[in-house]
């Protein structure tokens, strides 16, 4: 297939995704007329109409729907070839697209991306912050950072760092409401619960010589881990937080541990671990470099 046809397929796939010649042209840095010529060239070569055009919308015809996945595959092959050649030269180029929990948007990911971009200025990064367990294949991501290990054999879990979780509250809340005398006494306190999918609704405690669970009856429920963290800082109540997120605030005097001798574990009694989940296969050089940097960060915040 001629190389210029790849440019035509890029124009076709972008118009299909944006549903607008003008918006697609803007995203590609081309003129709408050049995209129109590219689509017309594809239609003339194939002998079929690819788009239905109206004053209000651009939609794919049946032929266009059939061509679109083939166009994506061809463009992916082109990108893989470019990345392999860049790897031989030792250069990292292109885009990285990944998802991460909202709590990592607080300071971790922005800081790491700033460091990464200084080292690899030819790489662009697109981050989706969400507490959902995103499938990187369905989401067309290079990887997804999450706590849960992948269940699918088509996905690989790359360990980033282990951590511990404890209960935390602000000094202002504890001065106003007191420190709970026992785990059972949490019933009398304002509890903040993270309600994202796959988050346990029970707090499982492991302490010196004993373990147990506590069914949480929250006063506040948030689907965002970042909101749970901010609510605890604001003095709304007691929250379960990761030590890598909360301990800097403890050092600054803005949070305090509640029951410092008790960790909160998984239902099997294990400490949590953050993973990068990605599809099986070779990772581009730019992605390997970023994951290595994240793992180095993870080593620095892992606590015994």
pLDDT digits (tens, 9 = 90+) for 252-295: 999 999 999 999 987 777 788 888 998 877 788 889 889 999 98
Report which of residues 56 and 135 the model is more confident about: 135
Furthest C-alpha separation in the chain: 78
Same domain flag for 152 and 231: no
**Residue 171 pLDDT > 80, yes or no?**
yes
Helical axes 243-251 vs 225-233, angle rounded to 10°: 20
Report which of residues 21 and 91 the model is more confident about: 21
Q: How far apart are the first and last CA of the chain?
A: 57
From 88, 105, 139, give the residue that closes a domain: 88
pLDDT digits (tens, 9 = 90+) for 206-216: 888 777 888 88
For residue 71, give the nearest of 99, 51, 101, 95 by alpha carbon.
Answer: 51
- DSSP for residue 120: -
Q: Confidence class of residue 190 from pLDDT cuts 50, 70 and 90?
A: very high
Q: 44: helix, coil or strand?
A: helix
Tokens linked to 22? 């003008």
Q: Are 237 and 169 in contact (CB under 8 A)?
A: yes
Same domain flag for 7 and 76: yes
Q: Confidence class of residue 197 from pLDDT cuts 50, 70 and 90?
A: low
Same domain flag for 100 and 127: yes
Q: What is the CATH number for 32? A: 1.10.10.10
Q: What is the CATH number for 181? A: 3.40.190.290
**Residue 189 pLDDT > 90, yes or no?**
yes
Same domain flag for 177 and 219: yes
Q: What is the CATH number for 130? A: 3.40.190.10
Is pTM beyond 0.75 here? no
Same domain flag for 75 and 208: no
Same domain flag for 155 and 297: yes
**What is the per-residue pLDDT for 191?**
96
Same domain flag for 261 and 181: yes
Owning domain of residue 58 = 3-88
Q: CB-based contacts of 41: which residues, under 8 Å, 6+ apart? A: 8
Strands (DSSP E) found in the chain? 51-53, 58-60, 94-100, 123-129, 143-146, 155-162, 165-169, 191-194, 202-207, 210-215, 220-222, 238-242, 256-258, 263-265, 273-279
Q: Confidence class of residue 1 from pLDDT cuts 50, 70 and 90?
A: very low
**What is the per-residue pLDDT for 139?**
84
Mean pLDDT for the stretch of residues 142-162: 80
Same domain flag for 251 and 284: no
Same domain flag for 46 and 183: no
Report which of residues 122 and 88 the model is more confident about: 122
pLDDT digits (tens, 9 = 90+) for 216-264: 899 999 988 999 999 999 999 999 999 999 999 999 999 999 999 999 9
Q: Are 24 and 15 in contact (CB under 8 A)?
A: yes
Same domain flag for 7 and 48: yes
Q: Provide φ and ψ at 83, rounded to 5°.
A: -70, -40
Mean of all residue pLDDT scores within the chain: 86
Query: What percent of the chain clears pLDDT 90, i.e. is strictly above it?
Result: 35
Same domain flag for 151 and 287: yes
Domain count, the chain: 3
Q: How many helices (H) and strands (E) does the chain have?
A: 9, 15
CA–CA distance, 164 with 162 (Å, rounded to integer): 7
| Best mean pLDDT range from 22-36, 158-172, 184-198 | 158-172
**Residue 68 pLDDT > 80, yes or no?**
yes
**What is the per-residue pLDDT for 239?**
96
Same domain flag for 208 and 78: no
**What is the per-residue pLDDT for 82?**
67
- DSSP for residue 292: H
């Amino acid at each position: 297939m001629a190389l210029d046809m790849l440019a035509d397929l890029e124009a076709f796939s972008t118009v299909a995704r944006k549903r607008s010649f003008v918006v697609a042209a803007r995203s590609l840095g081309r003129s709408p007329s050049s995209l129109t010529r590219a689509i017309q060239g594809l239609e003339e070569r194939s002998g079929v109409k690819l788009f239905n055009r109206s004053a209000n919308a651009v939609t794919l015809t049946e032929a266009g729907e059939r061509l679109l996945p083939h166009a994506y595959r061809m463009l992916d092959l082109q990108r893989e070839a470019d990345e392999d050649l860049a790897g031989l030269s030792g250069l990292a180029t292109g885009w990285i697209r990944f998802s991460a929990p909202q709590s990592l948007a607080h300071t971790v990911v922005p800081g790491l991306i700033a460091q990464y971009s200084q080292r690899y200025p030819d790489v662009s990064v697109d981050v989706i912050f969400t507490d959902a367990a995103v499938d990187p294949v369905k989401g067309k991501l290079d990887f997804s950072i999450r706590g849960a290990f992948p269940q699918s054999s088509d996905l690989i879990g790359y360990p980033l760092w282990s951590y511990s979780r404890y209960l935390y509250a602000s000094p202002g809340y504890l001065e106003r409401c007191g420190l709970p005398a026992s785990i059972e006494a949490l019933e009398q306190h304002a509890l903040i619960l993270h309600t994202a999918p796959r988050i346990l609704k029970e707090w499982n405690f492991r302490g010196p010589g004993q373990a147990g669970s506590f069914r949480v009856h929250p006063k506040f429920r948030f689907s965002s881990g970042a909101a749970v963290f901010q609510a605890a800082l604001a003095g709304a109540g007691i929250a379960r937080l990761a030590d890598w997120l909360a301990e800097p605030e403890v050092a600054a005097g803005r949070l305090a541990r509640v029951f410092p001798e008790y960790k909160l574990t998984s239902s099997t009694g294990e400490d949590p671990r953050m993973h990068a989940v990605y599809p099986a296969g070779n990772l581009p050089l730019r992605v390997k470099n970023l994951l290595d940097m994240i793992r180095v960060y993870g080593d620095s915040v892992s606590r015994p």
